[in-house]
Amino acid sequence: MSVTEEKLRFNARDGQSLGGVLISPAAPKAGLLISSATAVTTEFYAHFARYAASRGFACLLYDCRGVGSSRPKQLKGYQANMADWGRLDAPAALDELQRQVSGLPLFTLGHSVGGHFIGFMDNHHKITANAFVAVGSGFWGVHRPTEWFLEFLFFYIIGPLNIWRNGYLKNSGRWQGTDLPAGVYWQWRRWCLTKQYLAKDLLAGKLDDHWFDQVSSPIRSYGFSDDPVVTPKSLAKTLGWYSNTPQETVWVDANEGGLGKIGHMGMFSRRNAKFWDQPLNWFESFLD
């Protein structure tokens, strides 16, 4: 099936210009919004999106404000936080996808923090179903103990020192994402050091615009046996925010089915392309 790729610009809910790419077959059967992990750019998901497009899904990949193709000329002093990604950027990307594939069903696939965005989206009712890939609470205490020291260093020493030096979180090669606005890092840090993660802000009314308890489109959440961050406890806490939706969990054993090392990021690697059919087959079950 012939697949085309088109770079896009569209405006977030508050008018901020965002960059993205539409990877689509000539005659798609559905739209698929792919929401990235923290500071990970669209290129990381391109191989998966091309495969999904070959199966008939028009895929919109987008960079949240401050990241990749949505980065301003000057990141130092740029005002943004992680909640803005969910309430301002993600719903605008869904609207853009709907415009591109008018009249077709819309699905979402969220990787890591990308799965948190659904509850912030005022247009969540447009979604037919959501696949979560390695989506869990960022609170360090529900991650594997092997990660605790590294997370301590990142949130108490490396991150704050990095921002003090640069005015933003500069990628020093320690993670697969790119540079990150300071405001995003500080909110992310506060959530990750809080037992309830972002739910504490939800309950305290600090995040005014959210619809976690109103989302009704089904969620299938994929966890991976060798992921040090998304553990059974971590995954379950995130699904708990979505109290009004049919949901199920699928655990994938990295030692079976010819898969390679998966961890938190490896499911989008071509070496693990055997996994890609799982969410796509599930989406197709809604098109019958």
Domain coordinates of the chain in residue numbers?
Answer: 3-138+210-284
Give the pLDDT confidence score for residue 214 in this predicted structure: 92
Q: How many residues appear in the chain?
A: 288
Over pLDDT 90: what percentage of the chain?
Answer: 78
Give the pLDDT confidence score for residue 165 in this predicted structure: 94
Q: Which of 53, 69, 68, 115 is nearest to 90 (CA)?
A: 115
Strand duo 219-224 + 127-133: pairing: parallel
Least confident of 37-51, 116-130, 138-152: 138-152
The Cα–Cα gap between 76 and 9 comes to: 23
Strand duo 17-25 + 3-11: pairing: antiparallel
Helix 182-192 and helix 159-166, axial crossing angle in degrees, nearest 10: 160
**Average pLDDT value for residue range 207-230:** 90
Name which residue leads in pLDDT, 1 or 188.
Answer: 188
Reading the block at residue 254, the tokens are 């990295």
Q: Report the SS3 class of residue 109.
A: strand
Q: Tokens 């197709």 map to which residue? A: 284
| CA 217 to centroid of chain Cα atoms | 17
Q: Whole-prediction pTM value?
A: 0.94
Fold designation for 3-138+210-284: Rossmann fold (3.40.50)
Confidence of residue 177 (pLDDT cuts 50, 70, 90): confident
Burial class of residue 74 (count of CB atoms within 10 Å of its CB; 0-12, 13-18, 19+): exposed
